[in-house]
Amino acid sequence: MAERTAELYRANEQLQSELAERKRAVEALRESEAFLNTLLNAIPIPVFYKDREGRYLGFNKAFERFFDATRENLIGKTVFDLYPPELAAIYHTKDNELLARGGIQEYESQITNVHGVLHDVIFNKAVFTGRQGAISGLIGTILDITEHKRAEEEHQAHLWFLESMDQVNRAMQGTNDLEQMMMDVLDAVLAIFGCDRAWLLHSAGPDAASFSVPMERTRPGFPGAFALSVDVPIDPEAARVIQTVRTCGTPVPFGPGSAHPLPAEVAKRFSIQSQIIVAIDPKIDEPYLFGLHQCSHPRVWTPQEQRLFQEIGRRLGDALGSLLAYHNLKESEERLRLTLEATQIGIWDWDIKNDQWYASPTYYTMLGYDPVEGAGDRAGWLERVHPEDRVAVHENIRKVLAGDSREYQYEARMLHADGTYRWVYVLGFGVQRDENREANRLLGIRMDITERKRADEALHQANETLRATLDAAPVGIFDLDTEGRVRSIWNSAAEQMLGWQRDEVLGHFLPSVPEDRVDEFARFREWVRSGKTIVGKDLVRRRKDGSPIEYSLYAAPEYDADGNVVGNIAVIVDITERRRAEEALRQSEERIRRIMENAKDLIYRMSIPDGRYEYISSAAMEMTGYTTEEFYENPLLTRERIPPDWQQYFEERWSELLRGQVPPFYEFQFLHKSGEVRWIHQRNVLIKNDDGSPLALEGIATDITERKRAEQEVRKLNLELEQRIRDRTAQLEAANRELEAFAYSVSHDL
């Protein structure tokens, strides 16, 4: 007995030791598992592992975040449960390949996240084995390379852009012959874009019947207008193309993938399947059109190609401007020569010491007198000066002779041979003086400025008219320099709207800008200074009395003769009343919305013919079991929930709607999301386009299921009542027959 007890005691100690060892092993296993989970969750990219059947066994937090799902939603699922079929098939095939051969696997693919956005990724996978060494499943990571690929594509596009521009620049710098340079550029463009034709033409005017192509480069087999030496007629389609390009300011693609169709006749004549055109501005002439044709196949011009094409067009415009400037300079030289030969400016030379005076023929003829050869009658000409101007003219001469003035110029009226007075401008230059500083010779010119004087008067009158117009305008108008100071215009409406008088603001910064809006005003100023306009920008400013005012701003840059922005003209429109109207409209719309959303009946508007809901009230949930979002997302939801035996009826009613035939109402059955059949009573109003075609359908749908049930119950009760009446009638008839038989027998016995 003692031996047995000792044996049991030893066995118990051994068991306790084994249990303690197992407990330590379990704790170590738990710690190891916790460590591995912590390690997995610390990895910033998605990590997952699956069994041999492709079921997800686990994953880290990054995986859950990427798919916005929990373990409960993913554990046990396969790729076919989680991804689009075409992607799931790729993952499944790759998994099977890895499980079959073992080892590791890396491949690039795509995957959709929880928002349905497609990402470029790299999968890295490896198998793991069980205790017996057999493959039990696989573990993998997902590396998102979307941004990397996008950056690589952008880098390649930028590199292509720079290399292409370098090629164009080298073509521009390869020769001093401007026309040859232009042709070299077209050759470079032809190679860069791989197109079939590159050309340049002068943009035809609105009344032109045709246009020619002065510069063109083509691939063999695709001759253009230049190679064929033909002019291209400007039909309405071609005119539309020219107008579209000239007003766009950026390259305009025509053909596949574009909002602009090809001009049919021109495309057919020159085998054009796609084209892109940009207007280039040489700045000293009307815009030119620079274009590319793709004739061998249809082509969609990418944004990168359009950007490059625009930059080449800009550079080409600069080069073309130089070419035109050169030609214009040659023409200007010729015009100057002809002008000097036929000048209407009179030249005079006064030998003061000998009092000899000479003048060119034009000096005489401009006032209707015959030219005089040799010395002229200076005193006689001075007598022709208008009496009111003579004193000023003689004083001007005296100052020059006395050395009191270095300038000899004046404007005066002189008597024309026809008896009228003409305004002339006289300028003396090249005054020669002797050693005593006395004037001994004076050269000068005289020109008729009568028309200029008339123009000045007309301009003065126009300015007065403009001033009166500005003061009468119901909107505030003022102009600012590039620093934001009021220049010269500040009309009456601006005074009334803002409270400052014109003399208070001229030369000062716009006083209506609050301190907290100074930065905003600076941005507007920079925007206009860059040559851009502001259209209808609603702003809150302050009046002189400190009260706020809300107005809509319209501003455009002002330029000097050299095309430099010198300021901007601004128009402000008080929108206080408009804001009140907008607020009233908003409140009205809000009231209508509340009424519609609280209505028990379903209210909707549906576009035709696609059947998409533009609006559906929240009563849809109660009536159909579906949310408004489900109706918006699935235009076919209503049709899908019509019972089969009502489908034909529903399609017939829909066909009637498309033909514009709208019954006042119709009733049909609808399968509630719960599966219950509901009766719907629907009243419709057809909204039509200006041409009478259906545009939309508006209506109210009412759930009449209870009414239909009541009607069914009434019909059932009516049938039961009719049956009871028939039964009772039969009983009465039988009783009546028995009564008649009894009466007959009684009467017979009597």
pLDDT in tens, 714-739: 888 888 778 888 877 878 777 777 77
Q: Which residues are bridge partners to 667 per DSSP? A: 681
pLDDT tens profile 248-279: 889 999 999 888 999 888 888 889 999 999 98
Q: How confident is the model at residue 340 (pLDDT cuts 50, 70, 90)?
A: very low
pLDDT tens profile 568-602: 888 888 887 777 777 777 777 677 777 667 777 88
Closest by CA position to 695, among listed 615, 631, 609: 609
The pair of three-digit structure tokens given for residue 228, joined into one six-digit string: 């064929």
CATH architecture for the domain at 154-332: 2-Layer Sandwich (3.30)
Q: Is 640 left (phi over 0), alpha (psi -120 to 50) or beta?
A: alpha
Whole-number percent of the chain with pLDDT over 90: 11
Residue 320 has pLDDT above 80, yes or no: no
Q: What is the topology classification, in CATH, of domain 599-703? A: Beta-Lactamase (3.30.450)
Give phi and psi for 332, each to the nearest 5. Answer: -65, -40
List of residues 6+ apart from 685 with CB closer than 8 A: 662, 697, 698, 699
Q: How confident is the model at residue 337 (pLDDT cuts 50, 70, 90)?
A: very low
Mean local confidence (pLDDT), 380-398: 88
Mean local confidence (pLDDT), 459-488: 82
pLDDT given for residue 275 in this prediction: 93
Give phi and psi for 482, each to the nearest 5. Answer: -65, -15
- Output DSSP code: residue 510: -
Distance between CA atoms of residues 185 and 170, nearest Å = 9
pLDDT given for residue 123 in this prediction: 93
Give phi and psi for 271, each to the nearest 5. Answer: 55, 40
**H-type helices in 75-228, by residue range?**
79-82, 85-101, 146-173, 178-193, 225-228
Task: Provide the CATH number for the domain formed by 43-144 in this structure.
Answer: 3.30.450.20
| Structural contact between residues 505 and 490, judged by C-beta atoms closer than 8 angstroms | yes
Give phi and psi for 304, each to the nearest 5. Answer: -65, -40
List of residues 6+ apart from 369 with CB closer than 8 A: 417
Distance between CA atoms of residues 126 and 205, nearest Å = 71
pLDDT given for residue 412 in this prediction: 92
Cα-based distances in Å from 509 to 308, 326, 350, 484, 556 = 42, 44, 53, 6, 18
Angle at 725 between CA 723 and CA 730, to 5 degrees: 95
The pair of three-digit structure tokens given for residue 639, joined into one six-digit string: 């049709």
Distance between CA atoms of residues 429 and 406, nearest Å = 9
pLDDT given for residue 354 in this prediction: 83
pLDDT tens profile 408-456: 888 999 999 999 999 999 888 767 787 777 888 888 888 888 888 888 8
| Structural contact between residues 532 and 478, judged by C-beta atoms closer than 8 angstroms | no
Distance between CA atoms of residues 110 and 119, nearest Å = 5
pLDDT tens profile 148-202: 888 888 888 888 888 888 888 888 777 767 778 788 888 888 999 999 999 888 7
- Cβ-based burial of 55 (10 A; exposed 0-12, middle 13-18, buried ≥19): middle
pLDDT given for residue 64 in this prediction: 84
Q: How confident is the model at residue 236 (pLDDT cuts 50, 70, 90)?
A: confident
User: Reduced to 3 states, what is the DSSP secondary structure of residue 566?
Assistant: strand
User: Reduced to 3 states, what is the DSSP secondary structure of residue 259?
Assistant: coil
Average pLDDT of the chain? 82
Mean local confidence (pLDDT), 100-104: 89
The pair of three-digit structure tokens given for residue 490, joined into one six-digit string: 């500040």
Work out the number of other CB atoms within 10 angstroms of the CB of residue 156.
11
Q: Which residues are bridge partners to 563 per DSSP? A: none
pLDDT given for residue 176 in this prediction: 65
| Structural contact between residues 694 and 658, judged by C-beta atoms closer than 8 angstroms | yes
Domain boundaries, the chain: 43-144, 154-332, 346-451, 473-580, 599-703
Work out the number of other CB atoms within 10 angstroms of the CB of residue 660.
12
Give phi and psi for 510, each to the nearest 5. Answer: -55, 115
Closest by CA position to 604, among listed 682, 510, 709: 682
Q: What is the topology classification, in CATH, of domain 473-580? A: Beta-Lactamase (3.30.450)
- Output DSSP code: residue 231: P
Q: Is 397 left (phi over 0), alpha (psi -120 to 50) or beta?
A: alpha
- Cβ-based burial of 208 (10 A; exposed 0-12, middle 13-18, buried ≥19): middle
Q: How confident is the model at residue 295 (pLDDT cuts 50, 70, 90)?
A: very high
pLDDT given for residue 18 in this prediction: 63
**H-type helices in 43-133, by residue range?**
61-67, 71-74, 79-82, 85-101
| Structural contact between residues 94 and 126, judged by C-beta atoms closer than 8 angstroms | no
| Structural contact between residues 596 and 603, judged by C-beta atoms closer than 8 angstroms | yes
| Structural contact between residues 141 and 124, judged by C-beta atoms closer than 8 angstroms | yes
Note the pTM of the prediction, 2 decimals. Answer: 0.37
Task: Provide the CATH number for the domain formed by 346-451 in this structure.
Answer: 3.30.450.20
Distance between CA atoms of residues 383 and 444, nearest Å = 19
Angle at 582 between CA 578 and CA 584, to 5 degrees: 115
| Structural contact between residues 174 and 184, judged by C-beta atoms closer than 8 angstroms | yes
pLDDT given for residue 298 in this prediction: 93
pLDDT tens profile 205-235: 556 666 767 788 889 888 887 776 667 777 7
Distance between CA atoms of residues 230 and 291, nearest Å = 17
DSSP assignment of 525-563: HHHHHTT--EEEEEEEEE-TTS-EEEEEEEEEEEE-TTS
pLDDT given for residue 33 in this prediction: 54
pLDDT tens profile 518-532: 777 777 778 777 878
Whole-number percent of the chain with pLDDT over 70: 89
Say what the alpha-carbon torsion angle 599, 605, 606, 612 is, to the nearest 10 degrees.
Answer: -70
Distance between CA atoms of residues 504 and 485, nearest Å = 12
pLDDT given for residue 341 in this prediction: 44
Mean local confidence (pLDDT), 134-148: 88
User: Reduced to 3 states, what is the DSSP secondary structure of residue 1?
Assistant: coil
Cα-based distances in Å from 348 to 365, 400, 434 = 13, 16, 20
The pair of three-digit structure tokens given for residue 444, joined into one six-digit string: 């000068």
Residue 203 has pLDDT above 70, yes or no: no
Say what the alpha-carbon torsion angle 474, 475, 479, 485 is, to the nearest 10 degrees.
Answer: 110
User: Reduced to 3 states, what is the DSSP secondary structure of residue 83?
Assistant: coil
pLDDT tens profile 10-47: 776 776 666 666 666 556 556 655 655 676 777 888 99
The pair of three-digit structure tokens given for residue 148, joined into one six-digit string: 């990397």
